[in-house]
Amino acid sequence: MRVLVTGGGGYIGCVLCDHLIRAGHSPVVLDRFFWGRRPLAGVRVEEIVGDIRDLREEWFDGIEAVVHLAGLSNDPTAEYNPEANWQMNAVGTERLVELCKRRGIERFTYASSASLYDTESSANEPERSPIMCDESTEIAPRGAYSLSKRHGEEAILAAADGAFAPVIFRQGTVYGWSPRMRFDLVVNTFIKDASMHRRLFLHGGGWMWRPLVDVSDVARVHVMALEAPLDAVRGQIFNVLEENYQIRQLAMLVAGSFALRDVRVELVEAPLPSLVRNYRISNAKLSRALGFTPSVTVLESIERMISQLPGALEELAHPQNYNVRWMALLEEMHALQRGFRSIY
């Protein structure tokens, strides 16, 4: 299939394009390339440099399926410019769905987020285990990012019918190596901090729960959904995770993996951050419907990332690998070059 991958130049997108190619599909990447084009160098993809807020009809010529990843991809970047976040994540998704329907594109997968399960009440008691949420749990998301993702989900589900079979994945926090690396995701951050500072901070003791999943498993589920019988996935929401972990546990796994290499990493208790996220989710539905079993545990991924570190020292320090830091720098550069014209 010729698959349009919006946001295909990002952390998940680069890995997904590789999976699509290996499964015999032809990815066409539509991306603003906020983080540059280097990660896709040498990958056999067609590239469209474009914005999800300014979709052109001709980009959909010959497209048979869409994987929708584009947009601002975490809380800090969404809070940095909530209006741009809304236009990209909520309105952009709505327009993309309209266009797909107009063009008769039936297969569509969407990268939503497990952070939709995070609520005020679970966050207020980080030391208590939150309830296990599944796709039928009522959600009350908070924050610009989660609210825009929920709007995206609602627009997609409202459009599902006999000719449009969208699938929504509520992805846990992702870990693992990608050609476009992100060091602002909890496990990856711990690897970076252990390597650069030999110290990991446990905010509020690190008792909060989080569902986690390897980047290659996320890529795999999107491909599985594109290839599944349409009626098994049409209009369905699926949680995607390997397992739920407490942040404290993750720090211990990372410190332990460094200790096995004779590197001592200190664990330091720190005050609670202003935004506390605390939630646990189940992947039973995905396993039942698509036969999904995660293939890379967090421990295996930690080992792989540590073994890749010697060749990645430059990456660790580069601001392009930290979303909100890079956004702030891009804004500054544009302001200097053009008088103030926002990158957003």
Ligand X SMILES: NC(=O)c1ccc[n+]([C@@H]2O[C@H](COP(=O)([O-])OP(=O)(O)OC[C@H]3O[C@@H](n4cnc5c(N)ncnc54)[C@H](O)[C@@H]3O)[C@@H](O)[C@H]2O)c1
Q: Cα separation of 276 and 203, whole Å?
A: 9
222 part of the interface to ligand X, by CB under 6 A: no
Residue with tokens 């969404």: 78
Among 21, 48, 51, 334, binds ligand X (CB under 6 A): 51
Smaller CB distance to ligand X: residue 114 or 160? 114
Residues 6+ apart with CB under 8 A from 286: 221, 238, 239, 240, 292
Q: Cα separation of 108 and 82, whole Å?
A: 26
Contacts from 44-49 at CB under 8 Å and sequence distance 24+?
A: 45/5, 45/8, 45/17, 45/21, 47/9
- Mapping DSSP onto H, E and C, the string for 151-167 reads HHHHHHHHHCECCEEEE
Among 81, 146, 148, 173, binds ligand X (CB under 6 A): 173
Size of the site for ligand X (CB under 6 A): 28
294 part of the interface to ligand X, by CB under 6 A: no
- Mapping DSSP onto H, E and C, the string for 251-274 reads HHHHHHHHHCCCCCCEEEEECCCC
Q: How far is the CB of 16 from ligand X (least distance, A)?
A: 9
Neighbours of 321 (CB within 10 A): 22
Smaller CB distance to ligand X: residue 128 or 304? 304
Q: Which of these ranges, 50-58, 244-252, 280-288, 292-300, lies near ligand X under the rule CB under 6 A?
A: 50-58
Q: How far is the CB of 268 from ligand X (least distance, A)?
A: 24
Q: Strand, coil or helix: what is 74?
A: coil
Among 17, 20, 34, 250, binds ligand X (CB under 6 A): 34
Q: Which of these ranges, 18-26, 65-73, 271-279, 291-299, lies near ligand X under the rule CB under 6 A?
A: 65-73
Decide: 281 and 211 in contact? Cβ < 8 Å. Answer: yes
Q: Which of these ranges, 28-36, 221-229, 274-282, 327-335, lies near ligand X under the rule CB under 6 A?
A: 28-36
Among 25, 107, 150, 182, binds ligand X (CB under 6 A): 182
Q: How far is the CB of 265 from ligand X (least distance, A)?
A: 23
- 98-127: contacts with ligand X (CB under 6 A): 111, 113
Q: Which of these ranges, 33-41, 126-134, 244-252, 298-306, lies near ligand X under the rule CB under 6 A?
A: 33-41
88 part of the interface to ligand X, by CB under 6 A: yes
Position 217: which residue type? D
The dihedral region occupied by 195, where left means phi > 0, alpha psi between -120 and 50, and beta the remainder, is alpha
Q: Cα separation of 76 and 49, whole Å?
A: 24
141 part of the interface to ligand X, by CB under 6 A: no
Q: How far is the CB of 230 from ligand X (least distance, A)?
A: 23
Q: How far is the CB of 69 from ligand X (least distance, A)?
A: 4
9 part of the interface to ligand X, by CB under 6 A: yes
Q: Cα separation of 83 and 100, whole Å?
A: 24
Q: Cα separation of 93 and 248, whole Å?
A: 35
Nearest residue to ligand X, scored by beta-carbon proximity: 10
Q: Which residues bind ligand X (CB under 6 A)?
A: 7, 9-13, 31-35, 51-53, 69-71, 73, 88, 111, 113, 171, 173-174, 180, 182, 185, 323
